[in-house]
A and B are shown apart, each in its own frame.
Chain A
Amino acid sequence: MKLSTLRRGQQARIHQIDASDSLTRKLLEMGLEEGMDVTLLHEGPIARDPIAIRIAGDRVIALRRRDADAIHLSPLS
């Protein structure tokens, strides 16, 4: 499962970040990391893009679906 296919209100855990070096660094700098739980909160008004997710530390991060494609998730056990 990818972050880009998560539904609104659904929660999952980041399994792997499979992005270019610069995007990976950007995501890490923004505090997104493997093992972190994410919940999809909002979707943009057009083509449901971008998306806003809630991550650990009660933070909300917005990113484009294209970029979210690079984030692989695993279901919460």
Chain B
Amino acid sequence: MAKQPLIAIAGMPNSGKSALFNRLTGSRQKVANYAGVTVERKEGAFTTPAGHACRLLDLPGAYSLRARSPDEAVTRDVLLGRLADIERPDFLICVADATNLKLHLRFTLEAKALGVPMVLALNMFDIADRRKFSIDAAELSRLLGIPVVPTVAVRGGKVEALLTVVDQYLANPVPHPAPTTWTEPTTGDLRALNRQAMALLDQAGVAYGVPPVTSYAIDRVLLHPVFGLLILMGLMFFVFQSVFTWSAWPMDQIDGAATALGAWLGDQLPDGLFRSFIVDGVVAGIGSVIVFLPQILVLYFFILVLEDSGYMARAAFLLDRLMGGVGLHGKSFIPLLSSFACAIPGVMAARTIEHKPDRLTTILLAPLMTCSARLPVYTLLIAAFVPNRDVAGGINLQGLVMFGLYMAALTTGLLVAFVLKRFVYTEQVDSFVMELPTYKLPTLHNIVFGLLERARIFLRRAGGIIFVVMVVIWVLSTFGPSGISENIEQSFAGIIGIALAPLFAPIGFSWQMVIALIPGMAAREVAVTVLGTVYAISADNEEGLASGLATTLQSSWALPAAISFLVWYIFAPQCISTLAVIRRETNSTRFMWATFGYLFVLAYVMSFLAFQISSALLG
């Protein structure tokens, strides 16, 4: 064989397929997208004990090959050799949960009809052993007519038998795989396949062991109508807190390192355009990308733990009705939660939602969740305009306003979802049928690999976009019509800001405020720096800048304008990177503009109301 053989892993969700993939490939894996669709293509490499170097493809989990979601379509099309960007696999490892064979064997039978030479891996065999299942792999193999091996993908695991089968195949490969006999199964076919699977298990003398009683006991608490919901809320609160507290130190370090690197480069390079480009464009740009990485990793750590343990399905169960009431899906929960750190991973996480209207609604809502880049702006304005005193019951007024800003965004998000369901995505709601898998202890191995994968995806997909935006914004704020501009008012950004000022006059923005919005499009928190520049605040560090700026703003902004600016920040589509990711994930420029349009209108109307009402009240 001239080329390295391609081996595919396929199986139902919860079969431990990805754990097996991680176990076989270790760190030798990469993630890309299949051409034209937003389905992740996970490929890795490994060498068999006999020394065959292979490529390994982790196909998306599928309940069937009928392909009701883009993920399932990819699994089917790859195995049928229908995709242009990857050849048909030489060999298939079909993974089944050994404790759930009645269900998983039906998929195996369906996959067998595809004609690719295959092996059935009875995964999580250790759990089946512990629960006293009796499974005769040799007998199953004889009845199915394909090799069947027990595997354990986690905790050191055993995959030797599987690798032996792969070696046996590679020593004697079939040059032309059998023709496909697969056709899309009708309900009749599915019933027949289910019966066939049952009969096979009976014949092979497979005996079920003890039920997962521990799982049932945990569910009685975690799915309790009252305690279950309280625990979920407590957990969400803990996750949310941790995203900010655990990441504070690394974020400071990254910020400090970027500033130090910028300062050092500034000393090394001669004064001029090139230095400004490197320090303010490139270094600041890269810094603003990686500064979000700690938050995203903390968030994904929790998501991976909750997903691996089986809790995420329970969270979807508890929240489905609440979310469903406004036209969302139980699965919208993770993308929206992620968006509190940053809307970009939130929008990317929405791809797990099969039903398209639910997915699009979730994406439309993601930028409304209060991402952490808004915090510096909120903090600055609250410090400047909200008195730091206690209101009734020892509650701090500044804290209360901050909480109000979060709640305003969340409530609006739910209202928007409701309106969308009522007037836009009015078609029949999707059905929600979901397995609640037995609880499992998450494994460190899987979590580490998951985090590395997420970090790589974020840096590659979002990093490029954020970086380009930062550089463009640097160009706009550095150059003006007459070349390099000395102050920001004469730069292109300043000219655009001043030109747009009349548009923003009804909502109370001065031209200084409008100028801050433009570089703020790169990343919201940049607006603070720009305000510092506009008001010519010079300070050596951020704290100095913030306190100096707060004092200046107090004297130069009227309270209604400040309120209007805060309200604007709740809603406005102030982040080009998010919009670019939305375009990418939906494959639609129109959808991106629709998102921009609705958020802009929402922000404008709300700021207008806030400004006019507060002006009238404060006279």
Q: Give B99's nearest chain A residue, CB to CB.
A: A58
Which of B100, B186, B225 contacts A43 (CB under 8 A)? B225
Q: Once the chains bind, are B433 and A30 in contact (CB under 8 Å)? A: yes
Q: Which of these, B187, B215, B322, B431, contacts A28 with CB under 8 Å?
A: B187
- Complex CA distance for A26 and B64, rounded to whole angstroms: 9
Known contacts A52-B317, A64-B431: A29-B322 contact under CB 8 Å: no
Asked if B28 CB lies within 8 Å of chain A CBs, one says no
Residue of A nearest to B188 (CB): A28
Main secondary structure of the interface of B (DSSP, over half): helix
CB under 8 Å from chain A, chain B span 202-227? 208, 211-212, 215-216, 219, 223, 225-226
Q: In the complex, are the beta carbons of B64 and A29 less than 8 A apart?
A: yes
**Given A57-B103, A59-B435, A63-B433, CB of A50 within 8 Å of CB of B190:** no
Q: Kindly list chain A residues whose C-beta atoms are within 8 Å of the C-beta of B102.
A: 31, 56-57
Known interface pairs A29-B64, A29-B190, A57-B100; A63-B223 also in contact (CB < 8 Å): no
Chain B residues within 8 Å of A59, by CB: 100, 103, 435
B42 within 8 A of partner (CB): no
Q: Verify if B324 is at the interface (C-beta below 8 Å from A).
A: yes
Q: Which residue of B lies closest to A58 (CB)?
A: B211
Does B434 belong to the interface (CB within 8 Å)?
Answer: yes
Chain A residues near B434 (CB, 8 Å)? 61-63
Q: Which of A26, A41, A47, A63 has the most CB of B within 10 A?
A: A26
Q: Most chain-A CB neighbours within 10 Å: which of B68, B99, B102, B429? A: B102
Contact, CB under 8 Å: A27 / B433: yes
Please pick, from A21, A48, A57, A67, the residue contacting B431 in the complex, using a CB distance under 8 A: A67
Q: Would you give the shortest CB distance from A14 to chain B, in whole angstroms?
A: 12
In the assembled complex, which residues on chain A have CB atoms less than 8 Å from the CB atom of B325?
A: 46
Q: A63's contact among B185, B212, B215, B432, by CB below 8 Å, is which?
A: B432
Are A26's CB and B321's CB within 8 A? no
Q: Is B251 an interface residue (CB 8 A)?
A: no
What CA separation (Å) do A24 and B435 show in the bound complex?
A: 16
- Shortest A71–chain B CB gap in Å is 11
Q: Which of B57-92 contact A (CB under 8 A)?
A: 63-64, 66, 68
CB contact under 8 A between A52 and B223, given known A30-B433, A62-B434, A64-B324: yes
Within 8 A of B (CB), among A31-65: 31, 33, 41-50, 52, 56-64
Of A45, A57, A64, which is in contact with the most chain B CB atoms at under 10 Å from its CB?
A: A45
Chain B hits for A48, CB < 8 A: 225
Pick the most buried of A31, A50, A58, A67: most chain B CB atoms within 10 A of its CB. A58
The answer for the CA separation of A57 and B215 in the assembled complex, in Å, is: 14
Decide yes or no whether A77 CB sits under 8 A from chain B. no
CB nearest to B232 among chain A residues: A45
A7 at the binding interface (Cβ < 8 Å): no
A59–B185 alpha-carbon span in the complex (Å): 23
Residue of B nearest to A33 (CB): B194
Q: Within 8 Å CB of B190, what residues of A?
A: 25, 28-29
When the two chains form their complex, are residues B433 and A61 in contact, meaning their CB atoms are under 8 A apart? yes
Residues in A neighbouring B106, C-beta threshold 8 A = 29, 31
**Chain A 10-31 near chain B by CB (<8 Å), digits 1 or 0:** 0000000000011111111111
B313 and A45 contact, CB distance less than 8 A = no
Contact, CB under 8 Å: A45 / B229: yes
A41: contacting residue among B68, B103, B219, CB under 8 A:
B219
- The secondary-structure label for the interface of chain A is mixed
Chain B residues whose C-beta falls within 8 Å of the C-beta of A42 in the assembled complex:
219, 223, 317
CB-nearest residue of chain B to A56: B102
User: Are B208 and A57 closer than 8 Å at their CB atoms?
Assistant: yes
Is B501 positioned at the interface, with any CB of A under 8 Å from its CB? no
Shortest beta-carbon distance, A50 to chain B, in Å?
A: 5
How far, in whole Å, are A44 and B100 apart by their CA atoms in the complex?
25
Residues of B contacting A46 in the complex (Cβ-Cβ under 8 angstroms): 321-322, 325
CA distance A70 to B99 in the complex (A): 28
Contacting pair B318 A45 (CB below 8 A): yes
Are A50 and B208 within 8 A (Cβ)? no
- Cβ–Cβ contact A26 & B68, under 8 A: yes
Chain B residue contacts of A50, Cβ below 8 A: 317, 320-321, 432
B132 within 8 A of A: no
In the complex, per-residue mask of B292-332: 1 if CB is within 8 Å of any chain A CB, else 0: 00000000000000000000010011101110110000000
Residue of A nearest to B110 (CB): A29
Q: Which residues of A contact B432 (CB under 8 A)?
A: 50, 62-64, 67
The answer to whether A44 and B320 touch across the interface, beta carbons within 8 angstroms, is yes
Q: Tell me, yes or no, whether B436 is within 8 Å of chain A by CB.
A: yes
In the complex, what residues of A have CB within 8 A of residue B229's CB? Answer: 45
In the complex, chain B residues whose CB is within 8 Å of the CB of A57: 100-103, 208
Q: Is the CB–CB distance between A45 and B63 below 8 Å?
A: no
A24 in complex: contacting residue of B99, B187, B313, CB < 8 Å:
B187
Q: What is the distance, in angstroms, from A49's C-beta to the closest C-beta of chain B? A: 5
Closest Cβ neighbor of A34 among chain B residues: B191
Which B residue sits closest to A25, measured CB to CB? B187
A64 touches B320 (CB 8 A): yes
A7 vs B324: C-alpha distance when bound (angstroms): 22
Is B173 located at the chain interface by the 8 A CB criterion?
no
Q: Does B5 contact A (CB under 8 A)?
A: no
Closest residue of chain B to A46 (Cβ to Cβ) is B321
User: Is the beta-carbon distance between B436 and A61 smaller than 8 angstroms?
Assistant: yes
Tell me, in angstroms, the Cα distance from A41 to B187 when the chains sit together. Answer: 27
Give the shortest distance, in Å, between A29 (CB) and chain B (any CB).
4
CA distance A25 to B223 in the complex (A): 27
9 interchain pairs (CB within 8 A)? Answer: A28-B190, A33-B191, A44-B320, A45-B225, A45-B226, A61-B435, A62-B313, A62-B316, A63-B433
Given A25-B187, A26-B433, A58-B99; 9 other pairs, CB 8 A cutoff? A22-B68, A26-B68, A27-B433, A28-B187, A30-B433, A41-B223, A45-B229, A59-B103, A67-B431
Which residues of B are at the interface with A, using a C-beta cutoff of 8 A?
63-64, 66, 68, 99-103, 106, 185-187, 190-191, 194, 208, 211-212, 215-216, 219, 223, 225-226, 228-229, 313, 316-318, 320-322, 324-325, 429, 431-436
| Cβ-closest 7 pairs across A and B | A28-B190, A60-B436, A46-B321, A58-B211, A31-B103, A45-B225, A42-B223
